[in-house]
Amino acid sequence: MVQHRLERFAEWVGREHIDFAFLSDPKNVFYFTGFKCDPHERLLGLFIIPGKTPFLVCPNMEVTRAEEAGWTSEIIGYDDDQNPWHLIQKALAGRGISRKVTVAIETETLSFAKAEQLRALFDDVRFVSSEEAILAQRLIKGPDELEHLKKAAELADFAINIGKNAIKKGKTELALVAEIEYEVKKRGAEGMSFATTVLTGPKSALPHGTPNDRQIREGDFVLFDLGVVVNGYCSDITRTFVYKHASKEQEAIYEAVRKANEAAIQSAKPGVRIGDVDLAARQVIQDAGFGDYFTHRVGHGLGLDIHEAPSMNSQNTALLKAGMVFTIEPGIYLPEVGGVRIEDDVYLDETGPLVLTSFPKELQIIE
């Protein structure tokens, strides 16, 4: 599977008359090699050269893991006191690449410093972007990727249940975060997709608020936004509860968000304009009178990265395709009152949406 991905990408490199592609984003390296590595500031590099054997560059201390991950082509390891760029120059020259080159790089993530180090190896370098070609491959998920995403979504459902059962008067947001993360890691999660978010009371009106020592009070919204990583693949779920008693206003915004979430999911089919999925949710929220308080797009693509293509925004004219995976997460945020967001992960198959997260969505008042 990984080999097939690499071959497809190498074909693109050759077709575009690019001398080689240099990939160093750990997510892309994992996608094309099966080797998961966080090198911190050190260099991790995958060099793909049309018609020649690719090679991987990583710290020497990671070489065994790269081999164990199934990488059978050349590995150039380097020590912390060595300059890997000289080794790279030699390996490329051995493949007939020197002086004047066209190189495909990850324009979104490659640091300027590393691009300059690469440039210094040659007399004349033209950089082109590999982003679109990689995006086109990562956009459509294969059966193995779907399995990982399903498991990540199952664990996200489990995590929400832990959070729900832990809601108690006086408990802080950070205590809830700690309880959730402890339980999901005990159950096999390799990590969280992003910093677990628990927001209570008026703080739930901040779509990306930060949990702190605020304690739960009666009448609070309690919003959980979290995700779990399984085999490198992320889930992302949001559920919002009310503690003890809900006001009419809280019930109204909850129902509007729940209906918006369902409308957007139902609208998602292959061939539908992506922007129309956003608009399906937005229309429900506008009709309920809260249009000014839905302040972000309806969702984002999901995979090795927690946010990846496609962007589910109202202006996206691209069409949905089978194999895409994305979130649907409308929200209403009333300043000083609180906010509600309901988020699911959706895989699109030929017939329509398959919702991977399954935690119930009707309003739950926690006693």
- Chain residues binding ligand GLY by CB under 6 A are 194, 225, 236, 300
Nearer to ligand GLY, 114 or 300 (CB): 300
To Mn ion, the closest distance from the beta carbon of 343 in angstroms equals 5
The reply on whether position 236 binds Mn ion by CB under 5 A is yes
Q: Give the C-alpha separation, 361 to 367, whole Å.
A: 17
For Mn ion (CB under 5 A), the number of binding residues is 2
Q: Give the C-alpha separation, 323 to 92, whole Å.
A: 36
Q: Give the C-alpha separation, 259 to 269, whole Å.
A: 18
To ligand GLY, the closest distance from the beta carbon of 222 in angstroms equals 16
Nearer to Mn ion, 236 or 276 (CB): 236
The only residue of 24, 197, 327, 357 in contact with Mn ion, by rule CB under 5 A: 327
To Mn ion, the closest distance from the beta carbon of 236 in angstroms equals 4
| Listed ranges 5-13, 116-124, 163-171, 323-331: which one lies at the site for Mn ion (CB under 5 A) | 323-331
Which of Mn ion, ligand GLY, none has residue 122 at its interface (CB below 5 to 8 Å by kind)?
none
Q: Give the C-alpha separation, 189 to 268, whole Å.
A: 29
Q: Give the C-alpha separation, 63 to 76, whole Å.
A: 8
Nearer to ligand GLY, 85 or 194 (CB): 194
Strand order of the β-sheet with 45-48 is: 74-78, 55-59, 45-48, 20-23, 100-105, 124-129
Amino acid letter for position 66:
A
To Mn ion, the closest distance from the beta carbon of 328 in angstroms equals 9
- Inter-residue contact 56 to 35 (CB < 8 Å): yes
Q: Indicate the helix (H) or strand (E) that contains 192.
A: strand 191-192
Nearer to ligand GLY, 91 or 306 (CB): 306
To ligand GLY, the closest distance from the beta carbon of 107 in angstroms equals 23
Those residues with Cβ within 8 angstroms of residue 363's Cβ, 6 or more apart along the chain or in another chain: 242, 246, 251, 254, 255, 258
- Inter-residue contact 3 to 72 (CB < 8 Å): no
To ligand GLY, the closest distance from the beta carbon of 300 in angstroms equals 6
Which of ligand GLY, Mn ion, none has residue 106 at its interface (CB below 5 to 8 Å by kind)?
none
| Listed ranges 45-53, 177-185, 236-244, 310-318: which one lies at the site for Mn ion (CB under 5 A) | 236-244
Which of ligand GLY, Mn ion, none has residue 27 at its interface (CB below 5 to 8 Å by kind)?
none
Those residues with Cβ within 8 angstroms of residue 240's Cβ, 6 or more apart along the chain or in another chain: 204, 221, 222, 223, 224, 254, 257, 339, 340, 341, 342
Give the C-alpha distances (Å, rounded to integers) separating 331 from 52, 132, 159: 50, 30, 20
Nearer to ligand GLY, 59 or 301 (CB): 301
In the block, tokens 């260099």 appear at 43
| Listed ranges 105-113, 152-160, 185-193, 229-237: which one lies at the site for Mn ion (CB under 5 A) | 229-237
To ligand GLY, the closest distance from the beta carbon of 348 in angstroms equals 18
Which of ligand GLY, Mn ion, none has residue 225 at its interface (CB below 5 to 8 Å by kind)?
ligand GLY
Interface positions with Mn ion (CB under 5 A):
236, 327
